[in-house]
Amino acid sequence: MIDLRRLAVLRAVAAHGSVTGAARVLSYSASAVSAQLAALERDLGVALVERRGRRISMTEQGMALARHAGVLLELAEEVEAGARHWSGLISPVRIAAFPHAVDWLLSPALEALADERPPEVQVVVAGPETAVRLLRHGAVDIALVYHDAAAIVPGLTATTLASAPLRVTCASGSRYPPHTLAASAALPWVLPADGTAARAVVDRALGVAAVSPRMAATGSTLQAVASMTAAGLGVSLLPDFAVVPFAGRLWAREPDDVAAGLTVSVLTPHEGTGAGAELLHDMLVRIADETGARVAVPPARSAAANRVGGVWAASSP
């Protein structure tokens, strides 16, 4: 069987054109490089270099083997990396997550993994649309997103973590939000940006209620929508996870005439993920189960929700 170290020497000689050049790159002595070449020739029974005094040149067979050596050495590196992976030295996990999910789901999951040989995690905070693109293009290994409860995410495996009903929301300094979407027809609205998953759900709900919203502002993230709503720019339709960070500044109630909601999911490629991503995926599911998030999105750990007369007010504990 060919010694891979000798193949590495042959490839270095071919790449640098001399024994001394290969020795310098490999941190070998020139005599050690020559000895490795001679041993490889004996193993194969073929001349790989031609020696003319102190100068050498590659034979045709030597050049062909040097080209194959690159492929073999790269494959060996992949196998070695895989062995480290299987033995528990897990490679970094890249995850894209929407902003509210970092505090609500991701950070608790990483904290729970602290005693279980956690993987190194590289977090990209991004909206659902961007997170899906990153996952499809292989830029991340896993994605935490929210999406239309009635829709699927084609080409990816989705595990549902939470159902998030949308509530009519307004600033706490204003009157309570109306009981129905239909009653909000004359009010100014703060809407998610056009083309986003949240906007599609809101538009469909307003359409069912026959409401043509008077648009006051749009936001590219639910955090932006909630912030502008808390500032009194208008009413909005928001899930609990977007409402509760604005403790004391928002009122919210489920409309009596139309039910609408988002689904929070963890996405992975159909072909599967590495061990680190699987470990994180399973912990996210566990955290969601333990907090009851599969039934309804709970308030964030830093806030509590109090229900008075059908109205939810985000408030500090």
> Of how many residues is the chain composed?
317
Highest CATH level, class, for 93-162+263-290:
alpha beta
258: Cβ contacts below 8 Å, ≥ 6 apart: 180, 181, 205, 208, 209
Domain boundaries, the chain: 4-86, 93-162+263-290, 164-261+302-315
Q: Please state the pTM of the whole predicted model.
A: 0.64
**Would you call 154 exposed, middle or buried from its count of C-beta atoms within 10 A (0-12, 13-18, 19+)?**
exposed
Look at the domain 4-86 and name its fold.
Arc Repressor Mutant, subunit A (1.10.10)
Half-sphere exposure of 271 (CA within 13 A, CB side): 4
pLDDT of the chain along its 317 residues, tens only?
A: 678 888 888 888 888 888 888 888 888 888 888 888 888 888 888 888 888 776 788 888 888 888 888 777 777 776 665 555 444 555 689 999 999 999 899 999 999 888 776 678 999 999 999 999 999 988 999 999 999 877 777 889 999 999 999 999 999 987 778 889 999 889 999 999 998 989 999 999 999 999 999 999 999 999 999 999 999 999 999 998 999 888 789 999 999 999 999 999 999 998 877 888 898 999 999 999 887 654 333 333 333 344 434 555 544 33
Q: Residue 62 and residue 32: Cα distance in Å, rounded?
A: 18
Please state, as a whole number, how many other Cβ atoms lie within 10 Å of the Cβ of residue 194: 10
| Three-state SS at 50 | strand
Q: Residue 126 and residue 10: Cα distance in Å, rounded?
A: 47
User: Quick one: which of 32, 40, 77, 39 has its CA closest to 62?
Assistant: 40
Cα dihedral value 9, 10, 14, 18, nearest 10: 60
With b for 16 or more beta-carbon neighbours within 10 A and e for fewer, the 219-250 pattern comes to bebbbbbbbbbbeebbbbbbbbbbbbbbbebb
On the question of a common fold for 4-86 and 164-261+302-315, the answer reads: no
What CATH architecture applies to the domain 164-261+302-315? 3-Layer(aba) Sandwich (3.40)
